[in-house]
Chain A
Amino acid sequence: MEIPRHWRLQKQRLALVGEVCPHCQAKIFPARDVCPECGGEAKTAFKFSGKGEVYSFTTLHSVPAGFEENAPYTVALVKLDEGPIITAQLTDVGEREVKIGTPVEMVTRRIRQDGDERGMLIYGYKFRPVLRMS
């Protein structure tokens, strides 16, 4: 069981909480100690909007242990509106065409279980094509 490593990242995975650099205002995801933009110390929590666009994507047919039940699935690099790029699965794509530049939004989904059906459930961010709003 790998409880601590997943628990430690819950705020990042469930609520897309990263950081904003107090020195240069760069938005950072995932959180880190040193701002990649200015090299200053980073520590101020920042909640991302979850809006972004597809920077790149690929569909995996051969998948690693722990993800077999969901194969095949699409993984994307998503460029968040606030700047950073993150790696995440796309979900609820259906027959919608995904392209580089497709607007997507964050949803929280079940990523996998830790080990077998006795293990903890790991939830986190995925992205889907933006829902049409009224």
Chain B
Amino acid sequence: MEKVYITGIGQVAVGEHWDQSLAALSSKAIRAALKDAGDPQPEIVYIGNFLASSISHQANLGALVCDAAGLHGLEGTTVEAGEASGAAALHMGYLAITSNMADCVVVVGLEKMTDMVGDEIEAFAAQSGDTDFEGMQGLTPNGMAGLLMQRYLDQYHAPCESFASFPITAHANGVNNPFAMYRKNVDLDSYGKAPMVSVPLSLYDVPTFADGAAALVLVNRKLLRDGQKAVLISASEIATDTLAVHDRADPLAFDAVHISTTKALEKAKLTRDCLDLFECWDTPSIYGMLSLEAGGFAERGRGWQFATLDNLALTGRLPVATLGGIKAHGFAPGAAGAYQVLDAVQQLRGEAGRNQIASAQVAMTQAISGAAASVITHILRKM
């Protein structure tokens, strides 16, 4: 099996890019990533995207994106796994190289939320849940997170502010990231005063939709040049759960997180304490909490005791959202999984600036779609 290396990264800051189309966003990220990789010649482009068909009425992104980036004639296809689409595209790129189908692949996570305004956005975002039996009851992704948070608070007698560690950490780390949408600290006081979105979920517990594109260049050993800043993909694992949360024996279990994490660690031949950072799905904050428990970093029902500001900080036991996470980055759903990997690559390359985790060697990233109906975990190693 060929080894897979990330040699280039490129991103557009997540934000409301009113004047930028799907094509423009993707080409900027791809061209930046190829340049960063030393301009190799890719053979395949995998596009992770969730909502272009709904919001922009645009399908066939393979042709759109390749054409826009000046990569005429290349193989290009869209990979869709809800909000985890960016990570799913990386998984496809990983398969293409490990299987020796290609020497060089470009992966881009791409989402254009602002082509449309209005309540339709919430309805489209709900497509990662079960449309017939959840969406048709008027449930949204934030509503689902509210249901799980309410249950969690009741079942484990956790205090509400135990979830604050996720947004406070993400915002603190986003301050130093020029690509983050929010570069402002949040404290416990403002968390407590935030308006409710979906009781008990407040504004700081949920992500903010915006546009984004994040690209990665993958190569095999053959194309790796001496002295190149490369990061090895040690594992890429997708697991699924029931689409509808009500179909699960234990809605708080997040089984797909458990399966995906366990398999990834086995593949990488690593244990949890080998991880220097974990780019977890930090928002909705309840998903961050349940990920820590299902991933085995905290005991079931004790995640709120583990997820302290100290433990999640850059110098803590398990740093998360090290460059702002999804919360401070802004949430471009189909691109978020790719941004997570970009952030981890920066840490492993030692390019995280003031947020650099000292001697970071191993990082895990984990993208979640729906209420963890699909979970995609990657483990990355510094070369």
> Residues of A at under 8 Å CB distance from B?
5, 9, 30, 36, 55-68, 70, 73, 75-77, 84-89, 100, 111-112, 122, 124
Contacts and interface: CB of A to CB of B under 8 A. Distances in A.
Most buried by B among A36, A65, A84: A65
Contacts of B118: 65
B135 A64 contact: yes
B50 to A, nearest CB: 16
Contact of B251 (A60, A61, A85, A122): A85
B135 A62 contact: no
B247 A36 contact: yes
Given A62-B197, A68-B119, A77-B246, A124 B136 contact: yes
A87 B246 contact: yes
Nearest to A9: B132
A56 B201 CA distance: 13
B143 A77 contact: no
B288 to A, nearest CB: 18
A100 B139 contact: no
Given A36-B247, A84-B246, A87-B244, A75 B138 contact: yes
Interface in B99-121: 118-120
B151 interface: yes
Of B119, B139, B196, B251, the most chain A CB neighbours within 10 A belong to B139
Nearest to A84: B246
B123 A56 contact: no
A87 B245 contact: yes
B34 to A, nearest CB: 38
Contacts of A77: 147, 151, 245-246, 251
Given A60-B138, A84-B246, A76 B147 contact: yes
Contact of B133 (A30, A57, A89): A30
Contacts of A55: 151, 251
Contacts of B245: 77, 87
B150 A100 contact: yes
A58 B200 contact: yes
Interface string B113-149: 0000011101101100010111111111011001111
Contacts of A58: 143, 146-147, 149-150, 198-201
Contact of B137 (A68, A84, A87): A87
B151 A100 contact: yes
Given A58-B200, A111-B137, A112-B138, 17 more contacts: A30-B133, A55-B151, A56-B147, A56-B151, A58-B198, A60-B142, A60-B143, A60-B198, A64-B125, A70-B138, A77-B151, A86-B246, A87-B139, A87-B244, A100-B154, A111-B136, A122-B136
